[in-house]
Structure 1
Amino acid sequence: MNSLGEKKEEKVGRKVQDTLALMRKNKVSYAMLAPYFILFFLFTVLPVLTSIFLSFTHFNMLEMPQFIGWENYIRLFLEDDIFMTAVKNTFIFAVVTGPISYIMCLLFAWIINEFKGKVRALLTLIFYAPSITGQAFMVWSLILSGDRYGYLNGILIKYGFMFEPKVWMKTEKYVLPLLIVVQLWLSLGTGFLTFIAGLQTVDKSLYEAAAVDGVKNRWQELWYVTLPSMRPQLMFGAVMQITQAFAVADISIQLAGNPSTNYAGATVVTHLIDYGTVRFDMGYSSAIATVLFIVMIGTNKIVQKVLRKVGE
């Protein structure tokens, strides 16, 4: 028994020495990576850990945090009806806008990639611009304005579909569908650019080899050659689209207000913003953020498993 234990200790010792030797050998690389890891720890890992800790406390930013255990989570799931409404709205957003926007990004990137040079660059800019412009909410505010000067009201009245203007973003049944439409319009963002870049890196010789192996049309090329060749971009795009789908807040606040009519446009993030920046109940808002973080991580894991099967 002692000899077995000694052998294990020697094996572990050798592994430690090999690791240290490898680190010394690549110390320049570690030194170059250090600034990123330091910043990542300070501005990503540390805030997440702090938020998880604060979720078990009562903290109003004026007094020291008081540990209260699971009280925030019990209140969140059993007593907060608005949170449950926000969860429902968020999952509707995620289920509708997540897959549709992901497919839209891939489809438009695939089509635009067929063009060459300046035409491709121009089309990329046209499709990408709505996601980065600061005037997007102003455009939709004009379209959805609740008087006769709103573009949507004006068009529908002009062609006889209705006779009185509707206050779109103050009418409960219209709020969520219209927010979904706006979210889809804004969805061609970073994931879209990633897919454009990924499509341009696919080795053209693979298409010739696929044709020899029996691939007969563009759809088969897409499934058996293009998508498997850009799995990293597909993974990154999925993460971005999922994050965007679950983190919807700005469009709801800008167009429907916070709170929206009967909380029809409330999402988990708008609920978090309400408690974090209006009520300053940082412990409770941290509990909301922690739940959202866990859901997003779980969803990303599921999507990654699905995407690994692409082209099989």
Structure 2
Amino acid sequence: MRISSKKDRGHWLLLSPYLILFIVFIALPVVVAIYLSFTYFNAIEKPKWIGIQNYITLITRDTLFMQKVLPNTIKYALIVGVGGYILSFILAWLVAQLTRIPRTIFALIIYSPSLTAGVTMSVIWRVLFNGDQQGYLNALLLKLGLIDKPVQWLQSPQHLMDIMILVSLWSSMGVGFLAMLAGILNVDEQLYEAAYIDGIKNRLQEIIYVTIPAMKPQMLFGAVMSIVNTFTSAGIGVALSGSNPTPQYAGQLIVNHIEDYGFLRYEMGYAAALSVVLLLIIWFFSRIAWRLFGERY
């Protein structure tokens, strides 16, 4: 019993740095946010308990959230999250078919935009979609005669969301892509041989019946990372348009709405309620990902 007790203490000692960081930076802020969501808090006065009033306001009075922010977030999440996830797998599978040196080069090329997205957003994309005639896209379209005057791409409610989706997809090949690539490369070759003996006839069936089932942990990791990154990547619309709120709220996502109420209007209680709603949305979609790719014992 004494040896077992010492081992148990040793485990807790090794886990303690992670547990402390988890409690201080994740668990405690979540608990505080849930508490503040039931209060009126302006960051100056003491929080005042108002019950579920913030949530009632969110559902019944915040027409901007229901009509603009939530539909924008759902559209953005479905296209960038699901589309980026599928694109990550397709590119990972294609890169995995190459030999080692070309595979390393192409993997680095595909992964690098996720590392430099902030820099390239301001240097490349804003120059590309500049609203005057010197912008690369406007200059090309004017030269081809497709437009007769420059288009304000980043200030246009009709175009801003589409540009946000394009830029996000371009930079979405992050750690999820690398995890899928590693998963594909580590699938046992004997599984493919056995599958062809059992009747698989082409590469598509090979992917569906062998590759994906054999790399479920990597698929789950990629799905969770895609969900979290998609629902929390709000800075892109503000960075492209240069304002928060974005023009006519065309690129306004839930995190932008939280920042608007929390750091511009100082309605911290309502911002906390929005953050709790966002947490629940992320949890819901993460559960779906777990249902699809989680291991069942």
TM-score by length of 1: 0.88
Match of 1:300 in 2: 286
User: Are 1:287 and 2:273 counterparts?
Assistant: yes
Q: Does the C-alpha gap of structure 1 residues 269 and 34 become closer, same or farther in structure 2, counting only changes over 3 Å? A: same
On the 8 A contact 2:217/2:294 being kept in 1, the answer is no
Are the aligned partners of 2:227 and 2:286 in contact in 1 as well (CA < 8 Å)?
A: yes
Q: Which residue of structure 1 lines up, in the alignment, with residue 251 of structure 2?
A: 265
1:68 and 2:50 aligned: yes
Residue 114 of structure 2 corresponds to 131
Residue 93 in 1 paired to residue 79 in 2? Answer: no
Alpha-carbon contact 1:202-1:226 (below 8 Å) kept: yes
Match of 2:205 among 206, 209, 220: 220
Assess, with a 3 A threshold, how the Cα gap between structure 1 residues 22 and 72 changes in structure 2: closer, same or farther. Answer: farther
Please name the residue that 1:157 is paired with: 142
Q: Which amino acid letter does the alignment assign opposite residue 183 of structure 1? A: S
Do 1:90 and 1:248's aligned partners in 2 also have CA atoms closer than 8 Å?
no
User: Is the contact made by 2:132 and 2:152 (CA closer than 8 Å) also made in structure 1?
Assistant: yes
1:32 corresponds to 2:14: yes
Aligned counterparts of 1:273 and 1:216: Cα–Cα separation in 2: 53
**What value does the CA root-mean-square deviation take over the aligned residues?**
1.9
2:226 is aligned with 1:244: no
| Residue identity matched to 1:232 | P
> Contact 1:179 / 1:265 at 8 angstroms: preserved in 2?
yes
Q: Which runs of 5+ in 1 are unaligned?
A: 1-17
Count of aligned residue pairs for this structure pair: 291
Q: What's the counterpart of residue 48 of structure 1?
A: 30
Using the alignment, how far apart are the partners of 2:3 and 2:198 within structure 1?
47
When normalised by structure 2's length, the TM-score is 0.93
Q: Helix, strand or coil for the counterpart of 2:159?
A: helix
Percent identical pairs in the alignment equals 40
* Distance in 1 between residues matched to 2:254 and 2:114, nearest whole Å: 21
State the alpha-carbon separation in 2 of the partners of residues 23 and 154 from structure 1: 73
Greater displacement, 191-200 / 25-34: 25-34
Q: Alpha-carbon deviations, 1:120-154, whole Å to 9, x = none? A: 11111111111110312121101110011111111
Alpha-carbon distance, 1:22 to partner? 6.4
| Structure 2 residue matching 1:306: 3-state secondary structure | helix
Q: 1:23 to 1:289 in 2, by over 3 A?
A: farther
Separation of aligned partners in 1, 2:183 and 2:31: 34
Distance 1:239 1:305 in 2: 12
Counterpart amino acid of residue 109 in structure 2: I
How far has the Cα of 1:24 moved from its partner? 5.3
Q: Distance in 2 between matches of 1:301 and 1:205?
A: 32
Match of 2:186 among 196, 201, 208: 201
**Structure 2 Cα separation of the partners of residues 174 and 52 of structure 1:** 36
Q: Which runs of 5+ in 2 are unaligned?
A: none
> Shift of residue 228 of structure 1?
0.8
Q: Which amino acid aligns with 2:220?
A: M
Larger Rg: 1
